[in-house]
């Protein structure tokens, strides 16, 4: 759960096992849900999913 993600300022850390292009990014109400291999890994509160792309992720 990431409540304070700011697009363009913050990046989402993912492990090397995660292929960003295969992440599921979907709009759920006013939030963006990020799914990897069927499991929700992050919920960005109040974020439009159209704002989230590969550049918002970084290897952690």
Range 24-45 burial, b when 16+ CB lie within 10 A, else e: ebeeeeebbbbebeeeebbebe
11 binds Ca ion (CB under 5 A): no
Q: How far is the CB of 39 from Ca ion (least distance, A)?
A: 22
Minimum CB separation of residue 9 from Ca ion in Å reads 10
Q: Are residues 35 and 24 in contact, defined by beta-carbon separation less than 8 angstroms?
A: yes
Query: In the set 23, 25, 56, 57, which binds Ca ion (CB under 5 A)?
Result: 56
Q: Which of 7, 11, 33, 36 binds Ca ion (CB under 5 A)?
A: 7
């Amino acid at each position: 759960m990431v409540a304070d993600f700011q697009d363009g300022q913050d990046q989402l850390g993912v492990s090397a096992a995660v292929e960003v292009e295969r992440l599921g990014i979907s709009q759920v109400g006013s939030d963006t849900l990020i799914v990897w291999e069927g499991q929700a890994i992050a919920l960005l509160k109040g974020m439009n999913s159209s704002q989230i792309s590969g550049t918002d992720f970084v290897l952690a």
